[in-house]
Chains A and B, each alone.
Chain A
């Protein structure tokens, strides 16, 4: 019976995964690749340069765990899926709670939950982002480096190079404040007041899927289950009705201020604050008031 948690880094999501893993098994050990994450735990550090999911999974499999946990990031899900095949294990992604063989996991990006039973000797789970409150802290790792025994083909799919995007402005995924527009904005030009407000707040601009399909904003601005998932301190959806596929993208938002003309729109059920009315009248008013208040101070 051995439990491993695969950590990419000691960031928020990593610490959430570690918290979850520690609850399942206080003797959990960490497996990582390349750089050891700064956590106070035993870290098995595989020496592989560069990201190659199958090779990284092989490293985990080499250690022969019976339970593997990781954060539900793109890489976490990918590596654990590979490891599941290698360990002939059962893999449940985006779990929010576990009890023995039973887990509660997310479907529909989190808009629906599933209670599932895992059958098999080896179990792998990834932890849904922001489902667990962090109880761990960073610290000094006890590193044990090792050379993984890779199989032929493990390194075929590996990162050859990284291309940095020259994105102007704040990155949507990292922004502390996000201002989004939906159908209620009316047109591509309708985003101008939102951009102005975002500029003042140092916020990123997001949009709903309807806006992307209408051709008003690029897909890179889309917030939602199949777009970018955000977790800002404040999320301001404007003219967005709140379909589940959109809400799946902003579950992590700490505060949500909805601006919408429909007081009965589904988004109101997830909002902390709301302003009712026409987006194109309200947003410029907020911008003007913000300028005024800043001018005074």
Chain B
């Protein structure tokens, strides 16, 4: 008994020491991490809900039933079998005092079997089915971990069956070995995932972390995104530690799906590998290392991203890939001045002209010619609702139509609204997604000042990007308004009977905008409108699983590698057989219309506001 106790203690000490040493490094790295730009401790009820749903409930994983069950079995087994470790240890030291809970043993056996089924299923998926999402992942490491898990549960089953002390030893040693190995492998996620989920964004998922450029902060302390490993935030490190290389993000990514270099999984893996290679050196102090972007094709991958958030949505441990990608862009744009040259005119135009199209602000209200739209001058009384038109609808000939339709509908419904006209400058979204946080903040502050001076309290925006920025990002700059998307307001007017459309026979398929459906949870109201004007038919990739049009992440102004994302989406829309492809975003309008033309199809791409305006006209 003493001998076994000593042997066990020695084993625990060794495993514990190895574990602790590694965990110490990980915690030193995380403590070196820069602070996150947003408050990640607010909204506690929502955070707890995420834990329950995503972690305990395994909900994101269960989106794919078989792999989800496979993982759930192993995960729940881990929880249920946890006490069994200690029971086994007691078995080793003093078999007679080991608890003899038949019900627990039986329960454990059930979960061991489930775990083995899980492991077998996992091997089947990995070796027979071989899905693409594992391309680039470390498959050998996964195999090792699965076998280890199999060994752990098998030894427990054997222990229960035979009551042989040897199996207790085997079980405990396998677990202690696993403990030592854990923080060196991607299995670390079992510790970090729960933490990562807790600190993830709850609402306003399209909100990026602001940087500080004020005069009080000394230049050495300023952070311009991620240059070297020293610029990583603690949350970005936690993301890296939580990645299991499952590839669900890669599967969801529209860039990856269309042959581009970008894989969100490889971005996180690349960041993680760089963190482990360079982080320890940075901990020593006086660090001068390579740019993170210069490893693992990260720079090239960063520019392919459309910031659609499909990766974040798909990730079972709520990794926020967009933060990594935008932070890489930020350093490249703001410090290195190194970015796709075709975007330079856009950045200069946003900065000097007030909009990314380089057209004069003085002409911003020209779209409203002939309509009786009130332009709010300084000193005018504030309207009930300010209609934020956005640069695209103001200047682009295809997007203009939706502004005219929206204005007509609001007037017809008797809504007291006004536009800012030339005083409305770009919200700064394209500059921000491109990585030029500095220019973005200048516009955020300017626009907030204009809106506050005008006494605006409620805003309706046509463009989901404007909507996302006004609602989710401007509060960081003191701008607090009630912000709705035009589909939300129009749907409300229809419900209230202030607009009375007559539905036609046209078949309509509605394309969810990423910035509406995924980043901001606006999914139902556009569908209400589609149902009110025609006969809706759904695409498979819809709502939270919508597939991007390709314009996000400033890609409206950047060239695209691989095959076009917009054509891929148009192909899917055409498969529904619908005559009309309804959208709720000026970028989607332009991209999908381009996609329809370039693939020679025959679908009408049109904003819901225009469809509604047509359906309302019919009645009169």
Contacts and interface: CB of A to CB of B under 8 A. Distances in A.
21 contacts: A183-B345, A186-B559, A187-B342, A187-B559, A210-B345, A210-B358, A213-B344, A213-B345, A213-B348, A214-B344, A214-B345, A215-B341, A215-B342, A216-B342, A243-B358, A261-B397, A261-B398, A263-B397, A264-B366, A264-B397, A281-B597
B59 interface: no
A191 to B, nearest CB: 13
Interface in B548-591: 559
Contact of B342 (A214, A243, A264, A281): A214
A106 interface: no
A23 B358 CA distance: 43
A216 to B, nearest CB: 7
Determine chain B's interface SS by DSSP, over half rule: helix
Range of interface residues on B (Cβ < 8 Å): 10 to 19
10 shortest interchain CB distances as A-B pairs: A215-B341, A262-B397, A214-B342, A210-B345, A213-B345, A187-B559, A214-B345, A213-B344, A214-B341, A261-B397
B359 interface: yes
A190 B345 CA distance: 17
A214 B358 CA distance: 13
A278 interface: yes
Contacts of A278: 594, 597
Contacts of B348: 213
Contacts of A213: 344-345, 348
Contacts of A263: 397
Interface in B363-411: 366, 397-398
Contacts of B594: 278
Size category of the binding interface on chain A: 10 to 19
A214 B345 CA distance: 6
Contacts of B398: 261
A240 to B, nearest CB: 12
Interface in A38-96: none
A241 interface: yes
Interface string B432-463: 00000000000000000000000000000000
A243 B397 CA distance: 16
A258 to B, nearest CB: 14
Nearest to B597: A278
Interface string A215-233: 1100000000000000000
A241 B397 CA distance: 12
A248 to B, nearest CB: 16
Interface string A161-193: 000000000000000000000010011000000
Of the candidates B345, B359, B366, B398, the one having the most CB atoms from chain A within 10 angstroms of its own CB is: B345
Interface in B108-160: none
A210 B356 CA distance: 12
A215 B344 contact: yes
A112 to B, nearest CB: 14
B398 to A, nearest CB: 8
Contacts of A187: 342, 559
Contacts of A241: 359
Nearest to B359: A241
Interface in A246-271: 261-264
Contacts of A215: 341-342, 344
Contacts of B359: 241
A238 to B, nearest CB: 15
Given A214-B342, A278-B597, 12 more contacts: A186-B559, A187-B342, A187-B559, A210-B358, A213-B345, A213-B348, A214-B345, A215-B344, A241-B359, A243-B358, A262-B397, A264-B397
A262 B394 CA distance: 13
Nearest to B594: A278
B401 to A, nearest CB: 12
A56 to B, nearest CB: 39
Contacts of A264: 366, 397
Contacts of B366: 264
Nearest to B341: A215
Contacts of A216: 342
Interface string A261-294: 1111000000000000010010000000000000
B348 to A, nearest CB: 7
Nearest to A261: B397
B368 to A, nearest CB: 13
Interface in B339-355: 341-345, 348
Contacts of B344: 213-215
A278 B358 CA distance: 20
A45 to B, nearest CB: 49
Nearest to A262: B397
Contacts of B342: 187, 214-216
A263 B345 CA distance: 23
B103 to A, nearest CB: 69
Nearest to B593: A278
